[in-house]
Structure 1
Amino acid sequence: MTVLDGLRVLDLSRVLAGPYCTALLADLGADVVKAEAPGGDDARHLGPFLDGESVYFAQLNRGKRSIVLDLKKPDDHALLLRLAERADVLVENFRPGVTERLGIDHRTLEKCNPRLVYASISGFGQDGPLRQSPAYDLTVQAMSGLMAATGAPDSGPTRVGESVGDLMAGLFASWAICAALFDRERSGRGRYIDVAMLDSLVSMQVTTMSLLTATGTLPGRVGNRHPVSTPFDTYRTADGLLAIAVASDTVFARFAGLVGRPELPADPRFADDTARARHIDEVKRITEEWSSRLTTAEALEQARSAGVPAAPIQDLAEVTNSEQIRHRGLLGEFEHPVLGRIPFLRQPVHFHTGAEGGPDTDSGTGRVTAPSPVLGEHTEEILDQWLSRPPASAAFPVSAGDRQGGLR
């Protein structure tokens, strides 16, 4: 049994942030019903494509079921309300105000299902001066401070190479949903969850915020190096680059032995992290005097033998084919009716049971085998299964006094 087995999730979201959130829940065994407009999720029409099918959509909607509802039609709107009565969780990422116009907002749905955990994901949140502004990952990264801190000193600001604004909002939403479900076990009542892409990215910048607080200055664009510690960067080898991460005096002593300079820790210029940061150019010169004479593989072997954290720079193809990732089971596969067997990236958490907590006790992680759904594929199946169950409000009544208090 998976950890979210039996959880019913009504997914009204589209494209990336919301579907990523609900994919994580589906990975853990939740029954995720994707309610789509007649044209389907926009992601069905986004590339890359294989045999006319979106691989992007297939990755994000694995293990879900699809029902088509036109919420502008009274019958379909009524049907959605009946499904919401029986859902544990609802996820949407419309622009703020749209759910109210459609009559499916939290205030409406909590009246028929006060146990519902309702999550809204948007660019800037449900309130504030920017609530109605359109949001894309690029624009949110640009506004968040993350782009200003990303890139080399002699280049312009650089976007992180994945849509982290959407993905982090989806991740925070899935975390918040599980927290709200835990709270519901004690209170008997649901929650309304408001997740913003901008908030999500800003909240991640712990190192930059600590520097701003301590010094009143920002690190700016520092390339691959760490804004505080050194050597903590990528360094030239005879055939490429090697990442080296030294963040303590103990490890620096090992590093000094690695590069053939055991006297370095006694030198006041390199005695601690702060001093080393002031002499970063000299540290880099010393490091590359050693690394540039070796291939990346040779330098990596020597660094690991010396107990100095180091790594090659791998692309996604290399890392997903690595022994470590295959051992961890992160790369899954499912059988798609058009695409055949295609890989996907599972949620990464392992849930263990028993005293040992070893791999043989891994339980509840979720091993999705169902593909992404064809548009409307499960309509009759969903209606039969979900609507045969009494509404959540009937099974778990909440007093009128509790209801008046709201769920925020």
Structure 2
Amino acid sequence: MCFDTTSSNTGRISGACVLLEQKLGMELLSLACRHHIMELVIGAAFRVCMGSTSSPEVPLFKRFQDYWRFIDTDKYETRIAADDLARLVDDIKQSTIDFANKHLEQSQPRDDYKEFLELVLIFLGATPAKGVRFMSPGAMHHARWMSKVIYSLKIWMFKAQFRLTLTEERGLHDVCVFAVRVHLKAWISAPLASGAPYSDLLLLKSLLEYSSIHLAISKATSNKFSGHLWYLSPELVGLAFFDSRVSSSTKRLMVSAMQSEDDQEQEHTKRITIDLDSAKNKNLEHFVTAKSAKLFRMMDLPDGFLTVDPDLWEDRHDYKLASETVRSLKVVNDHAERGVALIQEYSGFITQDESQLQFLLQVVNEHRRVYPDSRKQTLSGQPYIGTKQFCLYFFKAKYKLIKILIFFLFS
């Protein structure tokens, strides 16, 4: 199961995840959406710096969106202007630039992820491969994952043209530093299933060490993140066996801990709790127990490689086979988020009637069944029984919805 960590999903009694396991009569792996978790972390940092609001939109972002037409995008500021504050980003400047450029060369699943990477480069004084450009401010509601960092970086770089209070300016500065130093790498690396345990441990330590820069942010974010350590649970920490960043010595200790017979029976939990005072001294092997073998049983992964030295794993067929399966795991639900947003937008243009909306969903589902792909041999089959009804809906839609239609038919 890949899911957002809302109480409606994760509730112990009536959460959707619990109900699914009850209906299926089996235990499932709980792959909490790592982007949703990272959003909770940056949200905690944002509240510390900018305060909280009951409005669905951030008032500062709304002001900036309305003022955007007066902004000269050729006049922007980079980095931290004051010399006494430049040290907060200078020590990680080059490594962050290299990281951003590397991932910009790869295909990003969403445009706002790409925009985040480009804004960080501009903020640090570098120039993206396609040049400096600024997109017009878009959605800003709290449910949009990237709005906080994208708006904060833009407003900071154009603060000379946009009126800010001293409190707002200082708050934006702190958000930008946190986004560049901590949030960027955690967010972009989130979709990697094999790297989830090690990345989460590194992130937790980074949040605790951030106290040397901003104590309030460190405390708020580490407390928030400590409640979402899904991938350091005994069942999922075994994903780190397939992480190339984890040393062979650590993997040996993990194997030894998993084979230990001294593992005491603990209360069943999908996520762990950890004493933050001792977290800095924790390594991956400290989270491995005999229960960690459950990952191999539940996913039917070959585990013969565990009997040999980790230095030899890369050359073994069973390790490669298990590694391919792990890499295919989805630990973010970006596609589900995009699908929900698209169907809401699409259906809103066509009908507001619930019964008609349900019919539309059935037509799309039937079309996917009959035409599972867009290959010529598939499309040249028997006529689709729902084509007439579907076309009636389509011609009511506006032209700009064509790309949404294609997404639902062939994604």
Q: Using structure 2 for the length normalisation, give the TM-score.
A: 0.25
Q: Using structure 1 for the length normalisation, give the TM-score.
A: 0.25
- Which has the higher Rg, Structure 1 or Structure 2? 1
The structure carrying a bigger helix percent of its residues is: 2
